[in-house]
Amino acid sequence: MKVLVSQDLCIACGLCEALCVEVFSMNSNGKAEAILNDIPKEYEKNIQDAAINCPVKAISIHIN
């Protein structure tokens, strides 16, 4: 699984980072980004929750 955060859509609310700090971090522009290339299975539920709850739907999930 891979996850991408659209920098054009992200409003820097921090919800994704709060749900899964192991995968998401705020970058130098204050927007979220994925800090892992391949997501370990143990974080998949949190990533899905982040994508579903993102207020602007900036998170996309790609299944390998």
Between the alpha carbon of residue 52 and those of residues 28, 29, 57, 59, the distances in Å are 25, 23, 7, 8
Over residues 53-63, the pLDDT tens digits come to: 999 999 999 99
What range defines the domain where residue 28 resides? 2-62
Q: Which residues pair with 62 in a beta bridge?
A: 2
CA–CA distance, 58 with 9 (Å, rounded to integer): 5
Between the alpha carbon of residue 26 and those of residues 3, 23, 64, the distances in Å are 15, 10, 25
CATH classification at residue 58: 3.30.70.20
What is the gyration radius of the CA atoms in the chain, in angstroms?
A: 10
pLDDT value at position 55? Answer: 98
**What pTM, to 2 d.p., does this model score?**
0.92
pLDDT value at position 64? Answer: 78
How many domains does one find in the chain? 1
